[in-house]
Amino acid sequence: MIAESTTASLVLRATEAFPSNGSRQANLRYKHPHITIEDRGLRPLRPDHVRLQMLRVGVCGTDLHMTQRDEQGFLRCSAPAHIPAEGRVLGHEGIGRVIGVGADVGAFRVGDILAPESVLSCSVCRSCRSGCFNQCQKAVLLGMEQDGLFSTIADVPARSTVNISELGQTDQGLQMAACLEPAGVALLCGMNTRITPGDKVLIFGAGPIGLLCAIVARQVYGASSVAMVEPSPYRRQFAGRWADQAASSADELTTPAHGWDVVIEASGDLSNINRVFRQIAACGRVALLGRGGQPLTIDAVDHMITNAISVMGLRGHLGGVYERLIELCLSGHLPLDSIITTTLEGLDKLQIVLSQPDVVASTDCKIVVKLAD
Protein backbone atom coordinates (compact mmCIF):
# COMPACT_ATOMS: atom_id res chain seq x y z
CA MET A 1 0.00 0.00 0.00
CA ILE A 2 1.35 3.43 -0.96
CA ALA A 3 1.47 5.78 2.01
CA GLU A 4 -0.56 8.93 1.52
CA SER A 5 1.05 12.24 2.44
CA THR A 6 -2.03 14.46 2.31
CA THR A 7 -5.74 14.28 3.03
CA ALA A 8 -8.64 16.28 1.64
CA SER A 9 -10.65 17.73 4.51
CA LEU A 10 -13.77 19.81 4.98
CA VAL A 11 -12.67 22.66 7.24
CA LEU A 12 -14.71 25.21 9.19
CA ARG A 13 -13.17 28.57 9.95
CA ALA A 14 -14.78 31.18 12.17
CA THR A 15 -13.92 34.38 14.04
CA GLU A 16 -13.52 34.29 17.81
CA ALA A 17 -16.02 36.47 19.65
CA PHE A 18 -17.42 37.00 23.13
CA PRO A 19 -21.03 37.81 23.99
CA SER A 20 -22.06 41.43 23.50
CA ASN A 21 -22.02 42.16 27.26
CA GLY A 22 -18.23 41.84 27.10
CA SER A 23 -18.04 39.29 29.88
CA ARG A 24 -15.01 37.03 29.50
CA GLN A 25 -16.49 34.65 32.05
CA ALA A 26 -18.81 33.29 29.37
CA ASN A 27 -17.73 30.52 27.04
CA LEU A 28 -15.85 31.64 23.96
CA ARG A 29 -18.13 31.73 20.95
CA TYR A 30 -17.59 32.19 17.22
CA LYS A 31 -18.95 34.21 14.33
CA HIS A 32 -18.68 34.30 10.54
CA PRO A 33 -18.48 30.58 9.70
CA HIS A 34 -16.90 29.66 6.39
CA ILE A 35 -16.40 26.15 4.97
CA THR A 36 -13.70 25.08 2.54
CA ILE A 37 -12.23 21.84 1.23
CA GLU A 38 -8.48 21.79 1.74
CA ASP A 39 -5.58 19.44 1.15
CA ARG A 40 -3.70 19.05 4.40
CA GLY A 41 -0.43 17.31 5.08
CA LEU A 42 -0.56 14.22 7.27
CA ARG A 43 1.51 14.34 10.44
CA PRO A 44 3.49 11.28 11.57
CA LEU A 45 1.09 8.71 13.02
CA ARG A 46 1.07 8.81 16.82
CA PRO A 47 1.98 5.51 18.55
CA ASP A 48 -1.50 5.11 20.10
CA HIS A 49 -3.48 6.12 16.99
CA VAL A 50 -4.78 4.39 13.88
CA ARG A 51 -5.00 5.95 10.43
CA LEU A 52 -8.32 5.46 8.67
CA GLN A 53 -9.35 5.80 5.05
CA MET A 54 -12.84 7.12 5.65
CA LEU A 55 -15.56 5.07 3.93
CA ARG A 56 -18.78 6.68 5.15
CA VAL A 57 -19.52 9.78 7.24
CA GLY A 58 -22.83 10.93 8.63
CA VAL A 59 -24.17 14.48 8.86
CA CYS A 60 -25.37 15.38 12.36
CA GLY A 61 -27.54 18.26 13.47
CA THR A 62 -24.53 19.54 15.39
CA ASP A 63 -22.57 19.80 12.12
CA LEU A 64 -25.40 21.89 10.68
CA HIS A 65 -25.52 24.08 13.80
CA MET A 66 -21.80 24.73 13.43
CA THR A 67 -22.54 26.46 10.13
CA GLN A 68 -25.74 28.27 11.16
CA ARG A 69 -25.92 31.70 12.80
CA ASP A 70 -28.31 32.93 15.47
CA GLU A 71 -29.91 36.39 15.60
CA GLN A 72 -26.67 37.93 16.93
CA GLY A 73 -24.54 36.26 14.27
CA PHE A 74 -22.99 33.68 16.59
CA LEU A 75 -22.69 30.04 15.58
CA ARG A 76 -25.91 28.35 16.59
CA CYS A 77 -24.16 25.36 18.14
CA SER A 78 -24.07 25.44 21.95
CA ALA A 79 -21.96 22.29 22.37
CA PRO A 80 -18.32 22.69 23.47
CA ALA A 81 -16.20 23.66 20.48
CA HIS A 82 -12.74 25.05 19.77
CA ILE A 83 -12.00 26.43 16.31
CA PRO A 84 -8.30 27.31 15.94
CA ALA A 85 -6.95 29.84 13.49
CA GLU A 86 -6.23 27.10 10.93
CA GLY A 87 -9.84 25.92 11.17
CA ARG A 88 -11.52 22.81 12.49
CA VAL A 89 -12.17 19.64 10.49
CA LEU A 90 -15.80 18.82 11.27
CA GLY A 91 -17.47 15.42 11.55
CA HIS A 92 -17.93 12.97 14.40
CA GLU A 93 -19.96 10.20 12.77
CA GLY A 94 -18.35 7.72 10.42
CA ILE A 95 -16.47 4.54 9.70
CA GLY A 96 -13.10 3.94 8.07
CA ARG A 97 -10.69 1.22 6.96
CA VAL A 98 -7.35 0.97 8.76
CA ILE A 99 -4.44 1.94 6.52
CA GLY A 100 -1.92 2.59 9.28
CA VAL A 101 -1.36 1.37 12.83
CA GLY A 102 0.62 3.17 15.54
CA ALA A 103 3.58 1.42 17.13
CA ASP A 104 1.74 0.85 20.42
CA VAL A 105 -1.51 -0.43 18.89
CA GLY A 106 -1.98 -4.20 19.08
CA ALA A 107 -5.75 -4.59 18.80
CA PHE A 108 -6.17 -3.66 15.12
CA ARG A 109 -4.49 -4.38 11.82
CA VAL A 110 -4.51 -2.90 8.34
CA GLY A 111 -7.78 -3.71 6.58
CA ASP A 112 -10.00 -3.67 9.68
CA ILE A 113 -13.06 -1.43 9.50
CA LEU A 114 -13.49 0.74 12.58
CA ALA A 115 -16.07 3.14 13.98
CA PRO A 116 -14.54 5.98 16.02
CA GLU A 117 -16.40 7.13 19.12
CA SER A 118 -17.08 10.86 19.20
CA VAL A 119 -16.56 11.46 22.93
CA LEU A 120 -12.85 10.97 23.59
CA SER A 121 -12.72 10.18 27.30
CA CYS A 122 -9.58 10.26 29.43
CA SER A 123 -10.22 7.01 31.38
CA VAL A 124 -8.55 8.41 34.52
CA CYS A 125 -10.81 11.16 35.93
CA ARG A 126 -13.32 10.45 38.69
CA SER A 127 -16.23 10.10 36.24
CA CYS A 128 -14.37 7.64 34.05
CA ARG A 129 -13.14 5.65 37.04
CA SER A 130 -16.79 5.41 38.14
CA GLY A 131 -17.82 4.07 34.73
CA CYS A 132 -19.45 7.34 33.63
CA PHE A 133 -17.32 7.73 30.50
CA ASN A 134 -19.85 9.97 28.71
CA GLN A 135 -19.46 12.46 31.56
CA CYS A 136 -15.66 12.44 31.48
CA GLN A 137 -14.44 15.70 33.04
CA LYS A 138 -11.62 15.95 30.49
CA ALA A 139 -13.54 14.71 27.46
CA VAL A 140 -12.64 16.05 24.02
CA LEU A 141 -15.35 16.05 21.35
CA LEU A 142 -14.29 14.74 17.95
CA GLY A 143 -15.00 17.20 15.16
CA MET A 144 -15.64 19.96 17.70
CA GLU A 145 -12.59 20.26 19.93
CA GLN A 146 -10.34 17.95 17.90
CA ASP A 147 -10.19 17.50 14.14
CA GLY A 148 -12.90 15.10 13.00
CA LEU A 149 -13.88 12.69 10.29
CA PHE A 150 -14.88 14.82 7.29
CA SER A 151 -11.62 13.86 5.57
CA THR A 152 -10.48 11.26 3.11
CA ILE A 153 -7.97 10.13 5.77
CA ALA A 154 -8.32 10.63 9.53
CA ASP A 155 -6.10 9.75 12.50
CA VAL A 156 -7.99 8.76 15.67
CA PRO A 157 -7.06 7.26 19.06
CA ALA A 158 -7.14 3.47 18.80
CA ARG A 159 -8.73 3.05 22.24
CA SER A 160 -11.70 5.15 21.11
CA THR A 161 -12.61 2.95 18.15
CA VAL A 162 -14.70 -0.20 17.76
CA ASN A 163 -14.10 -2.94 15.18
CA ILE A 164 -17.17 -3.23 12.95
CA SER A 165 -15.58 -5.41 10.24
CA GLU A 166 -18.25 -8.11 10.55
CA LEU A 167 -21.04 -5.59 10.02
CA GLY A 168 -19.12 -3.86 7.23
CA GLN A 169 -19.09 -6.81 4.81
CA THR A 170 -22.04 -5.47 2.77
CA ASP A 171 -23.08 -2.07 1.54
CA GLN A 172 -26.15 -2.22 3.77
CA GLY A 173 -23.93 -3.04 6.72
CA LEU A 174 -21.70 -0.07 5.96
CA GLN A 175 -24.73 2.19 5.79
CA MET A 176 -25.97 0.92 9.16
CA ALA A 177 -22.51 1.28 10.66
CA ALA A 178 -22.41 4.92 9.54
CA CYS A 179 -25.39 5.50 11.87
CA LEU A 180 -23.88 3.88 14.97
CA GLU A 181 -22.99 7.14 16.72
CA PRO A 182 -26.51 8.67 16.77
CA ALA A 183 -28.01 5.23 17.38
CA GLY A 184 -25.76 4.93 20.42
CA VAL A 185 -27.25 8.13 21.81
CA ALA A 186 -30.74 6.67 21.29
CA LEU A 187 -29.92 3.31 22.86
CA LEU A 188 -28.36 4.96 25.90
CA CYS A 189 -31.38 7.25 26.19
CA GLY A 190 -33.73 4.27 26.29
CA MET A 191 -31.54 2.63 28.89
CA ASN A 192 -31.37 5.68 31.16
CA THR A 193 -35.07 6.52 30.89
CA ARG A 194 -35.84 2.87 31.66
CA ILE A 195 -38.29 2.37 28.80
CA THR A 196 -40.15 -0.88 29.48
CA PRO A 197 -42.77 -2.87 27.55
CA GLY A 198 -46.09 -1.03 27.62
CA ASP A 199 -44.63 2.46 28.07
CA LYS A 200 -46.09 5.40 26.17
CA VAL A 201 -43.29 7.53 24.72
CA LEU A 202 -43.46 11.10 23.42
CA ILE A 203 -40.55 12.42 21.33
CA PHE A 204 -40.00 16.01 20.21
CA GLY A 205 -38.02 16.22 16.97
CA ALA A 206 -38.07 13.70 14.13
CA GLY A 207 -34.52 14.30 13.03
CA PRO A 208 -32.06 11.40 13.09
CA ILE A 209 -31.71 11.30 16.89
CA GLY A 210 -35.45 11.56 17.54
CA LEU A 211 -36.30 9.00 14.90
CA LEU A 212 -33.68 6.58 16.22
CA CYS A 213 -35.13 7.04 19.71
CA ALA A 214 -38.51 6.01 18.30
CA ILE A 215 -37.08 2.93 16.58
CA VAL A 216 -35.10 1.88 19.64
CA ALA A 217 -38.07 2.45 21.97
CA ARG A 218 -40.14 0.06 19.85
CA GLN A 219 -37.63 -2.49 18.61
CA VAL A 220 -35.37 -2.81 21.64
CA TYR A 221 -37.29 -1.70 24.72
CA GLY A 222 -40.85 -2.68 23.76
CA ALA A 223 -42.72 0.62 24.08
CA SER A 224 -46.39 0.06 23.30
CA SER A 225 -46.80 3.40 21.53
CA VAL A 226 -44.64 6.25 20.26
CA ALA A 227 -45.81 9.77 19.43
CA MET A 228 -43.66 12.38 17.70
CA VAL A 229 -43.88 16.15 17.36
CA GLU A 230 -42.12 17.57 14.30
CA PRO A 231 -42.82 20.88 12.49
CA SER A 232 -41.25 19.76 9.17
CA PRO A 233 -43.93 18.11 6.98
CA TYR A 234 -41.29 15.96 5.28
CA ARG A 235 -39.85 14.59 8.50
CA ARG A 236 -43.29 14.23 10.05
CA GLN A 237 -44.44 12.05 7.17
CA PHE A 238 -41.18 10.09 7.22
CA ALA A 239 -41.65 9.40 10.95
CA GLY A 240 -45.02 7.76 10.31
CA ARG A 241 -43.37 4.38 9.82
CA TRP A 242 -42.29 4.29 13.45
CA ALA A 243 -44.74 6.60 15.22
CA ASP A 244 -48.35 5.85 16.11
CA GLN A 245 -48.96 9.59 16.06
CA ALA A 246 -46.97 12.32 14.31
CA ALA A 247 -48.08 15.93 14.63
CA SER A 248 -46.75 19.45 14.17
CA SER A 249 -47.49 20.32 17.81
CA ALA A 250 -48.23 18.45 21.02
CA ASP A 251 -51.72 19.97 21.10
CA GLU A 252 -52.67 17.82 18.11
CA LEU A 253 -51.78 14.55 19.83
CA THR A 254 -54.10 12.26 21.77
CA THR A 255 -52.59 12.04 25.24
CA PRO A 256 -52.72 8.59 26.89
CA ALA A 257 -55.24 8.29 29.72
CA HIS A 258 -52.54 7.97 32.37
CA GLY A 259 -50.12 10.37 30.63
CA TRP A 260 -46.74 9.96 28.96
CA ASP A 261 -44.33 7.58 30.68
CA VAL A 262 -41.28 8.93 28.87
CA VAL A 263 -40.74 12.29 27.15
CA ILE A 264 -37.63 12.77 25.00
CA GLU A 265 -36.65 16.27 23.83
CA ALA A 266 -34.50 15.87 20.71
CA SER A 267 -35.35 19.09 18.87
CA GLY A 268 -33.40 21.61 20.94
CA ASP A 269 -36.55 23.58 21.83
CA LEU A 270 -36.67 23.16 25.61
CA SER A 271 -39.97 25.01 25.90
CA ASN A 272 -41.58 21.79 24.67
CA ILE A 273 -41.07 20.21 28.08
CA ASN A 274 -43.05 22.86 29.93
CA ARG A 275 -45.93 22.57 27.45
CA VAL A 276 -46.53 18.90 28.20
CA PHE A 277 -45.27 18.61 31.76
CA ARG A 278 -48.69 18.21 33.34
CA GLN A 279 -49.36 15.35 30.89
CA ILE A 280 -46.46 13.29 32.22
CA ALA A 281 -47.46 10.18 34.15
CA ALA A 282 -46.55 9.38 37.73
CA CYS A 283 -42.90 8.27 37.92
CA GLY A 284 -42.43 9.64 34.40
CA ARG A 285 -38.98 10.27 32.97
CA VAL A 286 -37.85 13.22 30.85
CA ALA A 287 -34.64 13.13 28.78
CA LEU A 288 -33.04 16.21 27.26
CA LEU A 289 -30.93 15.37 24.20
CA GLY A 290 -31.19 18.36 21.86
CA ARG A 291 -28.92 21.32 22.56
CA GLY A 292 -30.36 24.76 21.96
CA GLY A 293 -28.64 26.86 24.57
CA GLN A 294 -32.02 27.75 26.10
CA PRO A 295 -32.99 27.75 29.77
CA LEU A 296 -35.31 24.99 30.95
CA THR A 297 -38.47 26.28 32.62
CA ILE A 298 -40.91 24.05 34.49
CA ASP A 299 -44.02 25.72 35.86
CA ALA A 300 -45.67 22.60 37.27
CA VAL A 301 -43.14 21.90 40.01
CA ASP A 302 -45.87 20.64 42.37
CA HIS A 303 -46.87 18.10 39.71
CA MET A 304 -43.22 17.10 39.43
CA ILE A 305 -42.84 16.58 43.19
CA THR A 306 -46.15 14.81 43.71
CA ASN A 307 -45.59 12.42 40.82
CA ALA A 308 -41.84 11.82 41.31
CA ILE A 309 -41.03 12.90 37.76
CA SER A 310 -37.33 12.87 36.90
CA VAL A 311 -35.60 15.13 34.38
CA MET A 312 -32.17 14.23 33.05
CA GLY A 313 -29.70 15.49 30.51
CA LEU A 314 -27.95 12.87 28.41
CA ARG A 315 -25.15 12.71 25.88
CA GLY A 316 -22.83 10.15 24.40
CA HIS A 317 -22.67 6.48 23.55
CA LEU A 318 -19.73 5.10 25.51
CA GLY A 319 -19.71 2.07 27.78
CA GLY A 320 -20.17 -0.83 25.37
CA VAL A 321 -23.11 0.69 23.51
CA TYR A 322 -21.57 0.24 20.03
CA GLU A 323 -21.06 -3.47 20.68
CA ARG A 324 -24.72 -3.90 21.62
CA LEU A 325 -25.84 -2.00 18.52
CA ILE A 326 -23.68 -4.14 16.24
CA GLU A 327 -25.29 -7.31 17.60
CA LEU A 328 -28.76 -5.82 17.14
CA CYS A 329 -27.92 -4.87 13.55
CA LEU A 330 -26.44 -8.27 12.70
CA SER A 331 -29.49 -10.04 14.15
CA GLY A 332 -31.86 -7.92 12.06
CA HIS A 333 -33.55 -6.33 15.08
CA LEU A 334 -32.38 -2.78 14.39
CA PRO A 335 -32.58 -1.52 10.77
CA LEU A 336 -30.46 1.59 11.26
CA ASP A 337 -30.21 2.20 7.52
CA SER A 338 -33.98 2.81 7.39
CA ILE A 339 -33.46 6.40 8.58
CA ILE A 340 -31.10 7.26 5.68
CA THR A 341 -32.86 9.43 3.13
CA THR A 342 -29.89 10.54 1.02
CA THR A 343 -26.46 9.08 0.23
CA LEU A 344 -24.04 11.54 -1.36
CA GLU A 345 -20.61 10.92 -2.86
CA GLY A 346 -17.60 13.05 -2.04
CA LEU A 347 -16.66 16.00 0.13
CA ASP A 348 -17.79 18.47 -2.51
CA LYS A 349 -21.39 17.28 -2.14
CA LEU A 350 -21.04 17.47 1.64
CA GLN A 351 -19.81 21.04 1.36
CA ILE A 352 -22.98 21.99 -0.53
CA VAL A 353 -25.16 20.46 2.20
CA LEU A 354 -23.35 22.28 5.00
CA SER A 355 -23.51 25.53 3.05
CA GLN A 356 -27.31 25.28 3.05
CA PRO A 357 -28.04 23.98 6.58
CA ASP A 358 -31.55 25.45 6.81
CA VAL A 359 -32.73 23.35 3.85
CA VAL A 360 -31.93 19.93 5.29
CA ALA A 361 -34.89 19.58 7.67
CA SER A 362 -37.38 20.16 4.87
CA THR A 363 -35.88 17.65 2.45
CA ASP A 364 -34.01 14.99 4.44
CA CYS A 365 -33.74 12.99 7.62
CA LYS A 366 -30.35 11.29 7.69
CA ILE A 367 -27.63 12.12 5.17
CA VAL A 368 -24.70 9.76 4.72
CA VAL A 369 -21.71 10.63 2.54
CA LYS A 370 -19.71 7.95 0.75
CA LEU A 371 -16.01 8.80 0.59
CA ALA A 372 -14.55 5.46 -0.55
CA ASP A 373 -15.51 1.83 -1.26
The CATH number linked to 46 is 3.90.180.10
69 and 43 in a common domain: yes
* pLDDT tens per residue, range 309-338: 999 999 989 888 999 999 999 999 999 999
Helix (H, G, I), strand (E, B) or coil at 92: coil
198 and 156 in a common domain: no
Nearest to 229 by CA among 204, 208, 207: 204
287 and 339 in a common domain: no
User: Is there a domain that residue 325 lies in?
Assistant: no
Strand 260-265 and strand 280-288: the pairing is parallel
304 and 214 in a common domain: yes
125 and 231 in a common domain: no
∠ CA(296), CA(143), CA(43), 5° rounding?
155
Over its C-alpha atoms, the chain yields an Rg (Å, rounded) of: 20
Q: pTM for this structure?
A: 0.91
User: Is there a domain that residue 324 lies in?
Assistant: no
Query: Between these two residues, 4 and 255, which has the higher pLDDT value?
Result: 255
- Indicate the average pLDDT of the chain: 92
User: Is there a domain that residue 178 lies in?
Assistant: no
277 and 243 in a common domain: yes
What gap in Å lies between CA 160 and CA 126, rounded to an integer? 18
190 and 148 in a common domain: no
Amino acid found at 6: T
pLDDT surpasses 50 at 76: yes
* pLDDT tens per residue, range 85-137: 899 999 999 999 999 999 999 999 999 999 999 999 999 999 999 999 999 99
Model confidence at 1, pLDDT cuts 50, 70, 90, reads very low
241 and 117 in a common domain: no
What gap in Å lies between CA 163 and CA 111, rounded to an integer? 11
* pLDDT tens per residue, range 23-45: 433 456 788 888 999 999 999 99
Domain hosting 275: range is 183-313
User: Is there a domain that residue 128 lies in?
Assistant: yes
Bin 259: left if φ > 0, else alpha if -120 < ψ < 50, else beta: left
Model confidence at 19, pLDDT cuts 50, 70, 90, reads low
User: Is there a domain that residue 318 lies in?
Assistant: no
190 and 156 in a common domain: no
Q: How many domains does the chain have?
A: 2
196 and 126 in a common domain: no
User: What is the pLDDT at residue 27?
Assistant: 54
Nearest to 59 by CA among 83, 91, 101: 91
User: Is there a domain that residue 138 lies in?
Assistant: yes
**What sign does the CA torsion over 156, 323, 77, 314 have?**
negative
123 and 242 in a common domain: no
